[in-house]
Amino acid sequence: MYEKITPPTDGEKITIQDGKLIVPNNPIIPYISGDGIGPDITNAMIPTVNAAVEKAYGGTRKITWFKIYCGDEARSFYHPNLTDGELVKRPVDEQRNAYLPQDTIKAINEYLVTIKGPLTTPIGEGFRSLNVGIRQILDLYTCVRPVRYYQGTPTRIKYPEEVDLTIFRENSEDVYSGIEFKHTDPEQKQLIELLRSMGKTINDDSGIGIKPISLSGSKRLVRAAIQYAIAKKKPVVTLVHKGNIMKYTEGAFKNWGYEVAKEEFRDFIVTEDELWKDYNGNMPEGKLLVNDRIADVTFQHILLRSSEFSVLATMNLNGDYLSDAAAALVGGIGMAPGANINYETGVFVAEATHGTAPKYTNMDKVNPGSLLLSAAIMLEYLGWDEASELIHKGLQGAIVNKEVTYDLARQLDDVTPISTTEFGKAVVKHMS
Ligand code: NAP
């Protein structure tokens, strides 16, 4: 069934039935080490997760890891003799397959839950990035980015402990959908003529990008955010948009978001309008508030009034900026986890959100926090909350005791940095 990889036989597949994940006690979980620092952080992540699962369930649950390939590792594993010169002459699909093999897509689809390190954007034209490729091929329409503060992490803000956000970023639409035309393309000229025939004004030398925001795409994203907020007993879901300017894309996202909230979650939610109209501004017990905010003021308010935010649902571009800005509040990119999910098919890919930091490759130096926290989201997705909490607890213990890698150590006084491997071990030690 697979071309070059063999799934392990000492574990079972995670499956999905009627939208509910069925997780055996010994699930097989594929992992992609990634490029650059990917193997360093993966080598720290796997034993740490194993230790958390062992400690939480005393040996009754265990992950069977399944190595799959993507990025440079895939190219050398599947095409050891292919030169760069030969590769760039091949059709775009083949170029992409060299870095993102069919085996890998098949395994992610079949085993449902995968974790991956960062990937280099490879040479060649025609496809933008492997991460985008994985998201598009598997229709992983939600990017979930939880952002929370761990005491002792160096930060530039005064009240970092107030930051506890989860950003639901739409992953498949917006200006990221790849409908773009160079200012010199013949299609650009046709488009300009069409737009002018509709009475629109546009400069001749414009590059053009199209921003599709669909009803179905917006609703499934907001639905996922509200379901998450209800399950986790979060107080508020905020729809973040720039609908005052882009009425039929960003504004429509907001309207469709409220429609989902009222049509599908009527008994669970109160909108901000209803809060003032029907409840005199006093939030009724046990309900979820659904409100909306303009994107630009949200950037100010997550900084100045962090505690007012809990779950944010937004489109691709806003979500991209907002996720990194929020991560900066609590110590930066080395600590920011993420996961890409299709809630209908159940396919889930947890990932470190930083890049491959190539200058630190194989130095056992960088912070594995982002991948460890991504593993914590993965464990939570499996319903293994106890193991997930142990990772949070261990990480908190390591940081507060100043057992940290170089990136955090350099922002603290008199702290000697420890290695990636040692950090993983410190996390395990502080689980107790
Ligand atoms: P990057 O790899 O994230 O590295 C930028 C800087 O961030 C590093 O030099 C380092 O800062 C710091 N950093 C990143 N990860 C860290 C970690 N785990 N621990 C401590 N510090 C960390 O960004 P880039 O240099 O722009 O991108 C390099 C490659 O990664 C590119 O090919 C890009 O396409 C790819 N990329 C992949 C992903 C992904 O797979 N999800 C995401 C972004 C970028 P200092 O040098 O100051 O120590």
Residue-wise pLDDT for 21-36, tens only, equals 999 999 999 999 999 9
pLDDT of res. 178: 81
Average pLDDT, the chain: 95
pLDDT of res. 138: 96
| Residue 238 burial (10 A CB sphere; 0-12, 13-18, 19+) | buried
> Per-residue confidence at 156, pLDDT binned at 50, 70, 90?
confident
Sign of the alpha-carbon torsion through 116, 118, 121, 122: negative
Instruction: Return the residue whose CA atom lies nearest to atom 31 of ligand 1.
Output: 120
Provide the percentage of residues in the chain whose pLDDT is more than 90. Answer: 88
Residue-wise pLDDT for 202-228, tens only, equals 999 999 999 999 999 999 999 999 999
> Per-residue confidence at 410, pLDDT binned at 50, 70, 90?
very high
For domain 1-141+340-432, the CATH class is alpha beta
> Per-residue confidence at 123, pLDDT binned at 50, 70, 90?
low
Instruction: Return the residue whose CA atom lies nearest to atom 34 of ligand 1.
Output: 121
Please give the average per-residue pLDDT across 130-138, as a whole number. Answer: 91
pLDDT of res. 125: 58
Instruction: Return the residue whose CA atom lies nearest to atom 1 of ligand 1.
Output: 355
User: Of the candidates 312, 308, 428, which has an alpha carbon nearest to the alpha carbon of residue 375?
Assistant: 428
Domain ranges, ordered by start, for the chain: 1-141+340-432, 156-173+213-329, 175-211
Instruction: Tell me, in angstroms, the distance from the centre of ligand 1 to residue 120's CA.
Output: 10
pLDDT exceeds 60 at position 17? yes
Atom of ligand 1 nearest to the CA of 116: 40
pLDDT of res. 148: 93
Atom of ligand 1 nearest to the CA of 371: 18
Instruction: Return the residue whose CA atom lies nearest to atom 42 of ligand 1.
Output: 355
pLDDT of res. 189: 96
End-to-end Cα, the chain, rounded Å: 43
Pocket test for ligand 1, best of 356, 395, 406 (most atoms within 8 A of CB): 356
Superfamily of domain 156-173+213-329: Isopropylmalate Dehydrogenase (3.40.718.10)
CATH topology match: 1-141+340-432 vs 156-173+213-329: yes
Atom of ligand 1 nearest to the CA of 351: 41
Instruction: Tell me, in angstroms, the distance from the centre of ligand 1 to residue 247's CA.
Output: 35
pLDDT of res. 345: 96
Write down the pTM of the prediction. 0.93
Catalytic positions, please?
Answer: 176, 242, 296, 320
Residue-wise pLDDT for 272-307, tens only, equals 999 999 999 999 999 999 999 999 999 999 999 999
pLDDT exceeds 90 at position 6? yes
pLDDT exceeds 80 at position 333? no
Ligand 1 pocket, CB under 6 A:
37, 118-121, 131, 333-334, 351, 354-357, 366-367, 370, 407
Helices 385-400 and 369-382 cross at an angle (nearest 10°) of 160
